[in-house]
Chain A
Amino acid sequence: MFSRISRLGCRILNETRVAQNSVTKRSISRSSDQNRFLNPMTRFFFSTDTNTSDKAQSDGNQSNETISVTFVDKDGEEKHIKVPIGMSMLEAAHENDIELEGACEGSLACSTCHVIVMDVDHYNKLGDPTDEENDMLDLAFGLTETSRLGCQVIAKPELDGLRLALPAATRNFAVDGFVPKPH
């Protein structure tokens, strides 16, 4: 029981350590809520079983540092990448030359980084979108039940194997549901 808790504790410690390292090079796409959430954790956890924790730590440094993410473009072409824990999908896409637009560079002022989470299980593991994100999703083209903004989806271990589809451009450009008169 204790060893399980200490393993969990170490995993969280590792995540916060890795995330803190990544935080320093993070750009504005990083949610500040995450920072506040992660820092207090380091003060609370300690391990009682040093053997298990050492093993967990060395394992953790390799497997928990990145997750596998697959981007599927509108033609069905897949690209498999590794995303460090704590990085947003928008940033990860740009670092891997994936064509995900980011007009406002992660400031929740556009919907161009709209992605569709292909597995409902993964979608449910994401925190609920904030009002601000929902406001922008309202305007996204090809909106689905599992749509999110790429700049707000942050890599965490539970998302390993995440599959994200880039939405196909639609012919309906209207923001407000206006249907143009046929011409």
Chain B
Amino acid sequence: MNAMRRFLLYGQSQRLYSRGFSAASWDPLHVCVVGSGPAGFYTAEKMLKAHEGAEVDIIDRLPTPFGLVRSGVAPDHPETKIVVNQFSRVASHDRCSFFGNVSLGSSVSLSELRQAYDVVVLAYGSESDRSLGIPGEDLKGVYSARELVWWYNGHPDYRDMAPELCNSDTAVVLGQGNVALDIARILLRPISELETTDIADHALDSLRKSTIRNVYLVGRRGPVQAACTAKELREILGMKNLNVHINEADLATSPLDEEEMKNNRIRKRVYELLTKAAKSPLGDNSTGMRNLHFVFFRKPIKFISEDNSTVGSVHLEKTVLKEIGSSGKQVAVGTGEIEDIKCGLVLKSIGYKSLPIDGLPFDNDRGVVPNVKGRVLTSADQMDTKTEQGLYVVGWLKRGPTGIVGTNLYCAEETVASILEDVKNGKLIPASKPGRKGLQQILEEKGVKFVPFSGWERIDLKEKMAGQLKNKPREKITNWNDLLQVAIG
């Protein structure tokens, strides 16, 4: 009977579940993954595959799953979102359940989760930002990249952001990573090209009225250190009706730069692309022509406002590169020479940051939960090696906010390996906790209306159908109440 059932389940679930590891135990293991982005889903997938008794519940504070795949990947990058097909198969697995609209902290506390589950894996990423800590950061028109990205991707927390797109023709983006390029692209793309993407409606409306025609991408260091990667750079350099301005003088390299490129294929190819772009002739400034400027060796020191309310320009200090000891790594050092860029919009794209929560040790410097191979340490004190039983971390919360979707594959592998090792060594006692039933009880007692995966499927269907009417892959629902109404009505 057991063999027959397994055979039928094999047919149902996708191919990747056909093999179990010989060391797997059949005792149920109750696992809760907090966060349903790539880190959470890859962890759930590997857990389910490696341990045939594992029951995995994935919780997310949003009614919609998939984390930054839905709210971070740019609307004009639909191929990067294809991975949700794989994640959907995981969520539909027999031993997996999704609980949307369940927030760690308000719907359920960390200690409640640890009492209900044998294993709790925190995968809630980085929902805050690094700050510059310079004057004027609070002015209107100065936002973090994360906020603008959430806004144009229809995140329900930011639908009413109303960024200043109409008070000047220039935006300054601080940072030259892929997120900075995403923002520049969305601000500079012809509207017709955005109209057929899954960009949020309110963003499309604002961008239609936007007066932004020039974007400056400002980096503290040089082209060799620019954090973007070749695909994204190639894409933006190839945009029609876009003049790309790069100062050839900025392309001069030092021996340390050459060494950096020799050891790093990504840096080398990015540098080559920038060099090629710098040498290309510019088109005339006819109507419809937009401008992208790569500005190197400048760090922001102040935001200036004419009216004491909205930003009017950025004060930048010229920098030079200096080596740290003999590490080969170079940092930007100010020279005292100041420059101004007039602008009405500033986007800080200098890095995300994780949020600490009550009862969780946190490394404020690095903005991560202190851990060893995904096992959460009891304290951030480097001398203390004691770990928290049954508590693990994966993704940006573990490594810091770097990498791509696929980076989480290996990260999840490491964390799951730690969990399995702990199970094998008796550090966790499986089936001693109520698991899913425990969570459902807590949610019922608190009156939390969670969204099951089928609820997301209803949202998904409605968005796709609404999108069809407008020649978009989907028309995102961006209002909290509407999302819940459609999901669990």
Q: Which residues of A are in contact with B by a Cβ distance under 8 Å? A: 94, 97, 99, 101, 103-105, 107-112, 131-132, 134-136, 138-139, 141, 143, 169-171, 173-178, 180-181, 183
Q: Are A139 and B411 interface neighbours, CB within 8 A?
A: no
Q: Which residue of B lies closest to A140 (CB)?
A: B406
Top 9 closest pairs, chain A to chain B, by CB: A109-B79, A135-B231, A107-B79, A103-B83, A177-B264, A135-B230, A169-B410, A138-B266, A104-B82
| Given A107-B82, A110-B83, A173-B407, CB of A135 within 8 Å of CB of B413 | no
Instruction: Indicate the member of B265, B400, B406 with the most A CB atoms within 10 Å.
Output: B406
CB distance from B269 to the nearest CB of A (A): 6
Q: A136 to B366: give the CA distance in the assembly, Å.
A: 28
CB distance from A133 to the nearest CB of B (A): 10
Q: Are A105 and B85 interface neighbours, CB within 8 A?
A: yes
Q: Contact partner of B370 among A99, A138, A183, CB < 8 A?
A: A183
Q: Are A139 and B82 interface neighbours, CB within 8 A?
A: no
Query: Does B192 count as interface, using CB distance less than 8 angstroms?
Result: no
Q: A51 to B264: give the CA distance in the assembly, Å.
A: 57
Q: Contact partner of A110 among B19, B265, B366, B406, CB < 8 A?
A: B406
CB distance from B33 to the nearest CB of A (A): 18
Q: Which residue of B lies closest to A112 (CB)?
A: B406
Q: Are A109 and B77 interface neighbours, CB within 8 A?
A: yes
Q: Are A175 and B269 interface neighbours, CB within 8 A?
A: no
Q: Are B404 and A175 interface neighbours, CB within 8 A?
A: yes
Query: Does B236 count as interface, using CB distance less than 8 angstroms?
Result: no
Instruction: Indicate the member of A99, A109, A180 with the most B CB atoms within 10 Å.
Output: A109
Contacts of B413 in A (CB 8 A): 169
Q: A171 to B234: give the CA distance in the assembly, Å.
A: 29
Q: A135 to B237: give the CA distance in the assembly, Å.
A: 14
Other than the known A138-B266, A173-B402, A174-B402, what 12 A-B pairs have Cβ atoms closer than 8 Å?
A103-B83, A103-B86, A134-B230, A135-B269, A138-B265, A143-B265, A169-B413, A169-B414, A173-B399, A174-B403, A175-B407, A177-B263
Contacts of A101 in B (CB 8 A): 406, 409
Query: Does B227 count as interface, using CB distance less than 8 angstroms?
Result: yes
Q: A107 to B231: give the CA distance in the assembly, Å.
A: 13
Contacts of A134 in B (CB 8 A): 230, 269
Mark B61-77 against chain A: 1 for CB-CB distance below 8 A, else 0.
00000000000000001
- List 15 A–B pairs whose Cβ atoms lie within 8 Å, in order of A's numbering: A101-B406, A110-B404, A112-B406, A131-B230, A138-B266, A139-B406, A171-B414, A173-B402, A173-B403, A174-B403, A175-B403, A176-B266, A177-B263, A177-B266, A177-B267
Name the interface size band of chain B.
Answer: 35 or more
Contacts of A141 in B (CB 8 A): 410
Q: A47 to B83: give the CA distance in the assembly, Å.
A: 47
Instruction: Indicate the member of A108, A173, A175 with the most B CB atoms within 10 Å.
Output: A173
Report how many A-B pairs have Cβ atoms within 8 Å: 96
Contacts of B363 in A (CB 8 A): 183
Mark B342-377 against chain A: 1 for CB-CB distance below 8 A, else 0.
000000000000000000000100100010000000
Q: A108 to B234: give the CA distance in the assembly, Å.
A: 14
Q: A105 to B363: give the CA distance in the assembly, Å.
A: 37
Q: Which residue of B lies closest to A182 (CB)?
A: B382
Q: A135 to B399: give the CA distance in the assembly, Å.
A: 24
Q: A103 to B84: give the CA distance in the assembly, Å.
A: 8
Contacts of B405 in A (CB 8 A): 103, 110
Q: Are B85 and A132 interface neighbours, CB within 8 A?
A: no
Q: Are A132 and B231 interface neighbours, CB within 8 A?
A: yes
Q: A135 to B79: give the CA distance in the assembly, Å.
A: 15
Mark B202-229 against chain A: 1 for CB-CB distance below 8 A, else 0.
0000000000000000000000000101
Contacts of B403 in A (CB 8 A): 173-175
Q: Are A139 and B266 interface neighbours, CB within 8 A?
A: yes
Q: Are A135 and B82 interface neighbours, CB within 8 A?
A: no
Query: Does B16 count as interface, using CB distance less than 8 angstroms?
Result: yes
Q: Are A111 and B366 interface neighbours, CB within 8 A?
A: no
CB distance from A30 to the nearest CB of B (A): 15
Q: A183 to B382: give the CA distance in the assembly, Å.
A: 7
Contacts of A136 in B (CB 8 A): 231
CB distance from B372 to the nearest CB of A (A): 9
Q: Which residue of B lies closest to A94 (CB)?
A: B15
CB distance from A166 to the nearest CB of B (A): 12
Q: Which residue of A lies closest to B230 (CB)?
A: A135
Q: A107 to B77: give the CA distance in the assembly, Å.
A: 11
Q: A107 to B80: give the CA distance in the assembly, Å.
A: 8
Q: A46 to B156: give the CA distance in the assembly, Å.
A: 64
Q: A143 to B266: give the CA distance in the assembly, Å.
A: 12
Q: Contact partner of B82 among A94, A105, A138, A183, CB < 8 A?
A: A105
